[in-house]
Amino acid sequence: MSEKNPYVIDLAEVGAGQVALVGGKCASLGELFRELTQQGVRAVDGFTTTSHAYETLLQSNGLRKKLQKLLNKLDVDDLDELARVGAEARRLVRESPFPAEIEAAIHDAYSCLGDRIGKKAFEVAVRSSATAEDLPDASFAGQQDTILNVRGEKQLIEACRECYASLWTDRAISYRTAKGFDHFEVALSIGIQPMVRSDIACSGVMFTLDTESGFREAVVINGAWGLGEAVVQGMATPDEWIVFKPTLKLGYRPIITRKLGVKEVKMVFADDGSGTQVREVVASQRKRYCLAGFEVLQLANWACLIEDHYSKLAGKSQPMDIEWAKDGVTGELFILQARPETVHAQRTENFIESYELTGTHGAPLSTGVAVGEKIGTGTARVLLDSSKLNTFQPGEILVTTMTDPAWEPIMKRASAIVTERGGRTCHSAIISRELGIPCIVGTGDATEKIRSGTDVTVSCAEGDVGNIYFGRVDFDVKKHIITDTERPKTQVMMNVGDPDHAFSVSRLPNDGVGLARLEFIINNNIGIHPMALVNYPNLRRREDIETIANRILEEDPKEFFVRSLAEGIARIAAAFYPKDAIVRMSDFKSNEYAMLIGGTEFEPIEENPMIGFRGASRYYDDRYKAGFRLECLALLRARADMGLTNIKAMIPFCRTVEEGEKVIKLMAEHGLVQGENGLEIYAMCELPANVVFADEFLQVFDGYSIGSNDLTQLALGLDRDSEMVAHLFDERNGAVEKMVAMAIDAAKRAGKKIGICGQAPSDYPEFAEFLVKRGINSISLNPDTVIQTTAHILKTEQGIKSVAAGQLEG
């Protein structure tokens, strides 16, 4: 508290020994401001009222006693009574005369702030901050009001009065009661800052961890046009970027995910000169990202600096929730406020829960952005405004346009939440995470497609896209216990295809990624045949041209492919960094490639695509050579531009040694030089030829990964897609095991790495045991089998040691 004035702390004048409550902790505002600005963070100046000012207001005119009497014996579950008491409490605060000494202190601080920024009458943001906010088990997200575009001293005092009154909203009263806080032990300070003119630019929110999985090495940035309240309140579905912190700090440009938001509306300054209003965003702006790449990286760098500062204050790692804005007049970026993240940062569970749909279902009724990774079922209740909150029943699924803090009394009763607007950092998303319930935001049409009284299933367990299905679909919940048990000598890696799940599964005990399939990323994140993008717009089918145009928007078609693929690869590699992430170049069969947009124009019709135009033979063929070049450029970008040198390349279905040499030479022409910057290039060992000529292949490649699925079908001469011979398909067949043993022995002779990434070790513990006994270097498993197979591998290795020890004793 300032010695000059007990009611106001001026950011420019506060001394090193003077403190204020920041995020529930004592911190020197002056030190915070100076340290961050010295490191290049552009923070907004301002001043804040003290908790003493609020206490003085409560003591004046008997206000405290009146409020205590009003709240005595209030049942917050009686929504009608809660609304009556809340309205009366706010009236009492608004009508209580403002103590003259507090009003004078605010006027003086406003004048001094004007002197510092060179303005007399200027717009300010008036932000509430309660001492009970951002605690480990209570974020109090949006509980008190923020008032924007406040002009002049008279409006400033009225805005402060509204902030004090907002401590007594229905949702704030209910929330404090639910969390066990004494209403009169909570104090409120008010921060006043000059407005950044983001109303004519953009603004948003960023977190220094992944908000869904809790992955700590990412900065997640959301942004939309106009003032940031549109993002916070969920009015607009924002753009999103994810930046990888470790290589960002090394000077790389690791934007590993970007998603274009709809950005339906924006909040701007009101036409009458004060306050705000909401306008629709024009179509051209909706189709553009609100930030350029270099601005995303600048914000991410600032986020890291702020996190480091608060972590130093807290004495432990402290993820942060940060608001930012871009000034449309100067083009400058600013940090508006920062507070501790309170959901994932406090979790100490030693287990991971995984949800999976097991029942049958039809096409989704609606889709949006998944918040969390859970599944919920219940009866839908469509509410279009907060006046009908008292009709909501416990256990129902809330379906609405958007929520704000006024909805919180019923949100805690919901089994799931679905909104038409908003992104992963909006109000609905933040509260649902804290409550631990599934939530889907930004659907665009949920209130039209879902009827009240209908049983539905809300699934956030299928990646970044959340789906709402008709009916109560059966699902399983598995709990994976994470322990610090001994790691086996045999590396246990994972097969990971979906970038959306990479952050979550990386929490499982592992030694990296043994197989990352490009096909999943191409199919789901791109959906267009690479050669169609190479030749765009010169395609035969007008329908394909139009579909591609709508998907790539203003981006160069080849750049769209390279960027999208690079980001998908990078997200997987980042999740496991610095452990190896072995990325297999595309292995679509011709019939699978033909199913991509524009694919039929570039794919032959084959009798048996399984052993046809696939794998390495495509890469140097003129019919796909240009497409392979794009794959290589994507891998190069993830390694060179994003700094993810843990990425290794793997070539599938390489039929001859000469073919392998040809592909490696071609990769070098596209910048992927074997051995340069630690680049290793492996081959899939999945053909009998790969086994017979293993010594020769391993002179070309840095190692092998056994593909037991293809090796089994080719060793036994059967089509694994044919149900008529499916009963003969068995990796444990003696012929297959003999080939696997030969490959392992060859790798040992060559001093090269060898692993396996087929399905067999996941399905058959005895096959995994066979591999360990043969001395394989690594076994790559599906995530759901990692825990139990690791335990079996450890047991096998211990058995081998016991036998060896017994032989020595004998």
427, 480, 501, 529: the catalytic one is 427
* Per-position DSSP letters for 100-122, written without gaps between them: HHHHHHHHHHHHHHHHHHT-SS-
Counting DSSP H helices and E strands in the chain, the numbers are 30, 32
Among left, alpha and beta (phi > 0; psi -120 to 50; other), residue 361 is beta
Among left, alpha and beta (phi > 0; psi -120 to 50; other), residue 693 is alpha
DSSP 509: S
35, 98, 273, 403, 631 from 150: Cα distances, Å = 29, 18, 9, 24, 52
Tokens of 507: 């929490």
Taking Cα atoms as reference points, which of 372, 495, 486 lies closest to residue 762? 495
Beta strand pairing status for 123-130 and 47-49?
unpaired
Q: How many CB atoms lie within 10 A of CB 315?
A: 7
Tokens of 153: 């001293």
Return phi, psi of residue 306, to 5°: -65, -45
Tell me the residue type at 338.
Answer: A
Query: How many whole angstroms separate alpha carbon 206 and alpha carbon 240?
Result: 9
Among left, alpha and beta (phi > 0; psi -120 to 50; other), residue 416 is beta
DSSP-based three-state secondary structure for 483: coil
Residue 427 appears among annotated catalytic residues? yes
Query: How many whole angstroms separate alpha carbon 369 and alpha carbon 177?
Result: 31
Cβ atoms of 694 and 746 within 8 Å: the answer is yes
DSSP 17: T
Tokens of 625: 């050579």
Taking Cα atoms as reference points, which of 345, 357, 371, 406 lies closest to residue 136? 345
Length of the chain: 810
Helix H or strand E segment including 168:
none
193, 271, 670 from 197: Cα distances, Å = 12, 15, 44
Cβ atoms of 203 and 44 within 8 Å: the answer is no
DSSP 638: I
Query: How many whole angstroms separate alpha carbon 135 and alpha carbon 339?
Result: 10
Catalytic residues: 427, 757
